Structure 1
């Protein structure tokens, strides 16, 4: 397992920018980006992907990211080959010309992401956010939640002051009352629930039907389709294990990420597991999100999500 420091990531970016796509062909080690929750973490703990790729004499390197946008940028430059994010990061990536492909969809219950405030803040509803500061990761799934929640309650994005912060920095700002509310996903949401007993203003499930996505570097599938197929099969196996061993999921997540077991237990209780093909309906839902972002100016140009979908599976 690897955690890239900022300097290491910069060096990797510079190095990979010099490589031609042909040099990525038939890789012997598949580099997979992940965050601290979800199906990829279970697959890592179970070593299902390592086992699936062994017949190809292909190894696996896991690279941890704090959020989706830096993971998408790592895919863009070829520092990793595959990775998992929420719904918004690939939209921002595609709008910026990132070299990415959608490979598969993962379900989201919508329960493990929310906008919340401390009880003493006096905030009770989304409408109360008008004129307030909200910590949120720019280009993340929580950014999508904030946009959709405001629209559903008759507010514009300009009616709040988004404070763009990483989850770690958002947590610090929330703890020190430098922001009025925080929009974030599990396990950070679960940690905050246990620590602050916050007032939950809205969950993603209240306003959106979304998926998470398994992504690839744009050039990776052409010469590694068999490896991708085996990775997807391994994720299905990990999903089946998680559904059959709900009592062990939290421990598995804790073992890989180091996030406190109580928080991972809360996150696991509302987690959905699965890996699905990119159906027309799923692509249409993602397109609706992209259109919303363009309409309010979060992305500068209209994009067609289907243009970035890999059709090889």
Structure 2
């Protein structure tokens, strides 16, 4: 109740144009969140939100599922994930809403196999051990690839690992294939010894979403609008000088600049918009696929978690 009153008071003061009560904007991000990561590196949001009485704090996660777990627990206000984490969160009863989206990026995820692997087609995945992060966009890419090959989920052995654990397992030959997203995908390609069995093209839109605690979104549309405008403006910088952007991100995250250059070349747009109607159908397809396989405990209507500012 105390938190709700505080959020509501902030909304009123923002509407009046007055300095607001101090509010923590806890942002969850991943290394794949180029736009958010570069804003953090530049301190842009801090400068824009401080006059409104909003203090920005950043929390890094390896993947979307733990990010949304933290959001549901109240530790993260807004964050960015792929298509599958919010489906699992909603099915588990998390009070989280979709607030925005980036353009689809199907080529930014892939199913990788060792360069000398005998796996040549999606049908060859039958009987194989496939690593991915459970409840991630890579998990859905695996599901979609099996559907296209007319294989059932029981035809493979899924191995659920974090990106770093999956890469280690892949490199030591403990798994036959690895489904992963950028920048881990680009980093693996640069390291060599891998072959792309299939990207997400033709299998998934690989949509990226911005999400928030429902109470936070309801009380703070002004704050969200400031964040989205900053992200949209920053997207122009991401496109303007790829080498400078890549070097900036490399200095901040520790990944090679060339990895970010490859990532930006594969997907040049990270602009942010409010939700578009077409994405609802795509996201419902993701939810229905996971429910049909018994991977989420109940059927859901994703539109119930779509925020309408």
TM over 0.5: yes
Answer yes or no: is 1:162 the counterpart of 2:172. no
Q: Per-residue deviation at 1:20?
A: 5.2
1:95 to 91, 94, 114: 91
Q: Following superposition, which runs of at least 4 residues in structure 1 exceed 3 angstroms of deviation?
A: 18-27
Equivalent position of 1:12 in the other structure: none
Q: Report the counterpart of residue 295 of structure 1 in structure 2.
A: 292
Query: Any stretches of 5+ residues in structure 1 without a counterpart?
Result: 1-17
Partner residue of 2:14? none
The answer to whether the aligner puts 1:210 opposite 2:238 as a matched pair is no
Q: Who is 1:64 aligned against?
A: 60
| 1:36 aligned residue (28, 31, 35) | 31
Whole-Å separation in 2 of the counterparts to 1:47 and 1:239 = 15
Provide the aligned C-alpha RMSD in A: 1.6
CA deviation profile, 1:122-155 (whole Å, cap 9, x unmatched): 2112111110001100000000100001101111
Aligned residue runs from structure 1 range 92-131, under 5 A: 92-131=88-127
Secondary structure, in 3 states, of the residue corresponding to 2:220? helix
Name the SS of the counterpart of 2:159 in structure 1. strand
Aligned partners of 2:186 and 2:259 also within 8 Å? yes
Bigger mean CA deviation after superposition, 106-115 or 63-72: 106-115
What is the aligned counterpart of 2:248 among 219, 240, 252? Answer: 252
Residue 5 (structure 1) aligns with: none
Aligned to 1:234: 230
Deviation at 1:19, TM superposition (A): 7.3
2-structure distance, mates of 1:262, 1:110: 20
- Local SS of the residue matching 1:178: coil
Q: Kindly indicate whether the alpha-carbon contact (under 8 Å) linking 1:144 and 1:289 is maintained by their aligned counterparts in 2.
A: yes
Deviation at 1:23, TM superposition (A): 5.2
Report the Cα offset of residue 161 of structure 1: 0.5
Contact 2:133 2:163 survives alignment (8 Å): yes
**Post-superposition offset of 1:189:** 0.8
- Cα drift, residue 242 of structure 1: 1.2
Tell me the TM-score normalized by structure 2: 0.91
Answer whether contact 1:45 1:255 (CA < 8 A) is retained: no
CA contact under 8 A between 1:236 and 1:274: conserved in structure 2? yes
In 1, are the aligned partners of 2:101 and 2:274 still within 8 Å (CA)? yes
Offset at residue 47 of structure 1 (A): 2.6
Q: Which residue of 2 aligns with 1:311?
A: 308
Partner of residue 77, structure 2: 81
Secondary structure of the structure 1 residue equivalent to 2:304? helix
1:267 to 253, 263, 269: 263
Q: Tell me, what secondary structure is at the counterpart of 2:201?
A: helix
Q: 1:30–1:58: 8 Å Cα contact kept in structure 2?
A: yes
- Contact 1:112 1:203 survives alignment (8 Å): yes
Q: Is the 8 A contact 1:210 1:285 kept in 2?
A: no
Question: After alignment, is 274-283 or 248-257 more displaced?
Answer: 248-257
Greater mean deviation of Cα atoms: 141-150 or 39-48: 39-48
Check whether the contact 2:109–2:206 (CA below 8 A) recurs between aligned residues. no
CA distance in 1, matches of 2:69, 2:301: 19
